[in-house]
Structure 1
Amino acid sequence: MTARTPSRQAVARHGWAEALLTVLAALIAMGVVSALGLWAAGATDLPGGAFPRVTAATVVMAVGGSVELSGDAGGIAGTDAGLTVLPLSVALTGALVVAAGFLWPLRHRAVAGAAELAGWAGRIAVLWLLGVLALALAARQTFVIDLGDDTLGEIGDLFGIRPEVGFTTNVGLTLLFGLLWLAGVLVLALLVSRAPLPARLLQFQESVRPAAYAMVALLLAWVALGVVIGLVVAATRGHAAETFALILLGLPNLVWLAFTIGLGTTWNGRVEGPFGLPMPQLLDDVLRVPDIAELNLGTLSEHDGRVWWLLVADAVLLLAAAFLMASRSPARIRPWQHAVHMAVALALTVLMVCLVCRLSAHYGLSVLGIGDLGGGLAGDVFLRPRLWSALGLALLWGLVTGFLGALLAGALGRRRGAVPAGPQ
């Protein structure tokens, strides 16, 4: 009886109440960040009391949910709209809170069984799906589009056309992607932390955990650097509201894009119409061309030579990440093995960044064929990476910095087990 008591107490420390607290804390934090970012962007002026619904939709998109745009302009008019974007500031906030809540009850544990971890994750998942479902049902709104005072507006008034555009959620896809998002966060939390793993997985922690920890630290370092730069820009160059909106909604979108560009990656994109990227003017200048534009160090340097500092920042931060990975690894792992681990980890990280930083948005309207789906109202924005070249560059950077980081850690005696114990 006494042998089972610690196990029962351990399970009691992370039951349904703790799971509910974790889920509520994550959703509230994401909602607050979304609301503040949308407020800074001026979304409180949206008609029809749409602000809470737009906030809910932002949180849904942040967890990978499917938000669909729809339009209706009557039988003699047509609309076309679409949006694909992840507000990564909101997603990162939720991921950090969920990971902290998931790991907190395990912080003093030496051993955790697979059944126990699965039960704890399952309780969080059930409550998470209920929370995401509530947000998905709330994220619905319709807006009326003003045609203006020109010819298009006069035709609209003549035929009584009131074009509308709205958004709704695909509940099934939202629940599926929301569950996958949660699973990814929980798995990554276990990989990065020192939380106990089931016995069958212990053989992987020496090679996987240091690399995962280093990659998370690398991405968070880029976010921290972006926050500092954003605050300086807001304080010295004006446009504080727009800058804070970017920080609160899409800062990782920008800094992780810069991270890949510093590696040499090329992104293809275009900005067309009255809409633009919620990012620095430099990107808009490069992408606002008649054809598909290339976004890389070369094209950006034609407008601002300071972008070459991205290359320097990547070199320094990647070497630091490689050193951190090596210092957390056993001394028996050789430098070439560190190089391979770093290359694989960096390639997977760049793959994730390329997938989550994609952007696509368009809207158009036509009346009696006039306007070619919108004329002045039409807009098209997209941004996508050249994936295979990005992964190849990541492998190359990882091999070089991983090897150098291992040599540096070995020279400084920072590799785990490298310094022998003193005489007993």
Structure 2
Amino acid sequence: MSPPPVSERPVPRHGWPQALAAVLTALAVMVLVAALGLWAAGAADLPDGAFPRVVAATLVTSVGGGVELAGNAGVFAQTGAALTVMPLSVTLAGALVIGGGFLRPLRYRAVASARELAGWAARIAVVWLVVLIGLALGARQTFAVDVGSGTLSDLAGLFDAAPKVGFTTDAPLTVLFGLLWLAGVLVLALLVAGRAPLPGRLLRFQESVRPAAHAMVLLLLGAVAVALLAALVTAATRWHVPETLALILLGLPNLAWLGLTLGLGATWDGRVDGPFGLPVPHVLDAVLRTRDVSELNLGTLTAYDGRLWWLPVVDAVLLLAVAFWTAARSPARVRPWRHALHLGVALALTVLAVCLTGRISAHYGLSLLGIGDLGGGLSGEVLLRPRLWQAVGLGALWGLVAGFLGGLLAGPAHRRGRVNGGS
């Protein structure tokens, strides 16, 4: 008996059980990645059984939610803290899984109505909303800060000012940004997947949008793959296994996509001060550990290590590869200048997203009787922020050049293969 034609294949359902399965699978993967990364970083040793709450807080920040830090050091003392960072390894893992779960029931389809897609996305969003509320309620903890021995310890005991610091979540912001994150992931999944169905009215845009969007995802994943290879080599040669594992599972895309923008010529402003710093290669810490805010770019990096001139080379290779792949899979009637325009806009938007999600701001300090930060080891700051529009402009320029070259190089591939569309 011959198999039924493709058009007669049963269409997978996408109801509430499928939505629950998609969200819970993504949540499980995110919890696993965050927990292993925090364990490698030593967070399992935190007191009062705080590890699960720290994992919950990590998941909240990974989807753009707000975590508030607060301190209490008695009547005569104050603690101040602030933290803004996204662990993009957890973010990326969750986005890939939930995006795949969203697309899976839509396979074998050529067209889907906007109402159908919206209903399927709404089911996932409702389940995700419940998860966000649970994470926001669970990510709350307070820790006592060990001030050691000596004068500071005596003063803390005298004034009943033993410092404490804790974290809690801003539940409304967590829900808002978590839902926006989900919406972005689902929209991006539809844009990137070449076989995902679209409403009939949008089919005419897929030729110009989907190849460039897919190219940007390949570019970002390629940068992460290069960074992963470098991290594994570092772990194997320098035996920094726990630190490297923590970086891979929590912040590898942070480092990879920072390097991507630096290779394009972008400049970031940053500073590292105090006992804690960035879990990054020594050269970055050396550039940023200064009295004032420092510039982080190819010039300052290569002043410490000339080998980092390979960053723009890697960027050029990755960009040219995805530009050629995009042009080769596009209809032959699309001219090189149009490839350039599509890739220029796409890379500018990608760099914008990297800059918005890759910034870091962290500060903690203790003051007693209003006298500044005391104790040396009890205060510090980490700051990393991009020069946004410079980076976006450079991304557009690189995208234009790479797209044009990719279109030219793909010409012979079109002539050897089947031509799609007219001339």
Q: TM-score, normalised by structure 1?
A: 0.95
* Superposition pairs of residues 14-413 of structure 1, within 5 angstroms: 14-193=14-193, 194-372=195-373, 375-413=376-414
- How many Å separate the matches in 2 of 1:420 and 1:267? 44
Distance 1:65 1:328, change over 3 A: same
Quick check: 1:328–1:415 contact (8 Å CA) kept in 2? Answer: no
1:132 Cα offset (Å): 1.2
SS of 1:147's partner is coil
- How many Å separate the matches in 1 of 2:413 and 2:120? 40
Greater alpha carbon shift after TM alignment, 401-410 vs 227-236: 227-236
Amino acid at match of 1:54: V
1:375 Cα offset (Å): 3.4
* Structure 1 runs not aligned, ≥5 long: 1-5
- How many Å separate the matches in 2 of 1:123 and 1:165? 38
Quick check: 1:222–1:259 contact (8 Å CA) kept in 2? Answer: yes
1:420 Cα offset (Å): 9.2
- How many Å separate the matches in 1 of 2:293 and 2:418? 53
SS of 2:414's partner is coil
Quick check: 2:75–2:159 contact (8 Å CA) kept in 1? Answer: no
Quick check: 2:63–2:177 contact (8 Å CA) kept in 1? Answer: yes
SS of 1:268's partner is strand
The Cα offsets for residues 1-46 of structure 1, whole Å up to 9 and x where unpaired, read as: xxxxx99x74x61110010000000011000000000000000110
1:304 Cα offset (Å): 0.6
- How many Å separate the matches in 2 of 1:186 and 1:98? 8
1:409 Cα offset (Å): 0.8
1:160 Cα offset (Å): 2.1
* Structure 2 runs not aligned, ≥5 long: 1-6
The Cα offsets for residues 343-401 of structure 1, whole Å up to 9 and x where unpaired, read as: 00000000000000000000000112345265331111110011111111111111111
- How many Å separate the matches in 2 of 1:374 and 1:207? 58
Amino acid at match of 1:286: V
- How many Å separate the matches in 2 of 1:357 and 1:344? 20
1:416 Cα offset (Å): 8.1
1:150 Cα offset (Å): 2.5
- How many Å separate the matches in 2 of 1:420 and 1:342? 21
- How many Å separate the matches in 1 of 2:153 and 2:370? 14
SS of 1:47's partner is coil
1:328 Cα offset (Å): 2.2
Distance 1:106 1:241, change over 3 A: same
1:417 Cα offset (Å): 4.9
1:229 Cα offset (Å): 1.4
- How many Å separate the matches in 1 of 2:415 and 2:209? 18
Amino acid at match of 2:162: R
- How many Å separate the matches in 1 of 2:54 and 2:121? 29
- How many Å separate the matches in 2 of 1:273 and 1:414? 60
Greater alpha carbon shift after TM alignment, 407-416 vs 169-178: 407-416
- How many Å separate the matches in 1 of 2:244 and 2:45? 18
Distance 1:384 1:335, change over 3 A: same
- How many Å separate the matches in 2 of 1:331 and 1:68? 53
Greater alpha carbon shift after TM alignment, 406-415 vs 236-245: 406-415
Quick check: 2:272–2:382 contact (8 Å CA) kept in 1? Answer: yes
Quick check: 2:333–2:421 contact (8 Å CA) kept in 1? Answer: no
Amino acid at match of 1:16: W
- How many Å separate the matches in 2 of 1:348 and 1:247? 25
Quick check: 1:230–1:247 contact (8 Å CA) kept in 2? Answer: yes
SS of 2:410's partner is helix
Distance 1:416 1:375, change over 3 A: farther
Greater alpha carbon shift after TM alignment, 219-228 vs 24-33: 219-228
- How many Å separate the matches in 2 of 1:354 and 1:175? 22
- How many Å separate the matches in 2 of 1:195 and 1:374? 58
The Cα offsets for residues 58-106 of structure 1, whole Å up to 9 and x where unpaired, read as: 0111011111101111120011100000000000000000011001111
Distance 1:209 1:419, change over 3 A: closer
- How many Å separate the matches in 1 of 2:178 and 2:184? 10
Distance 1:195 1:420, change over 3 A: closer
- How many Å separate the matches in 2 of 1:415 and 1:46? 62
Amino acid at match of 1:58: T
1:203 Cα offset (Å): 1.4
Q: TM-score, normalised by structure 2?
A: 0.95
Amino acid at match of 2:31: G
- How many Å separate the matches in 2 of 1:230 and 1:161? 42
| Identity among equivalent pairs (%) | 67
Matching residue of 2:4: none
SS of 2:330's partner is coil
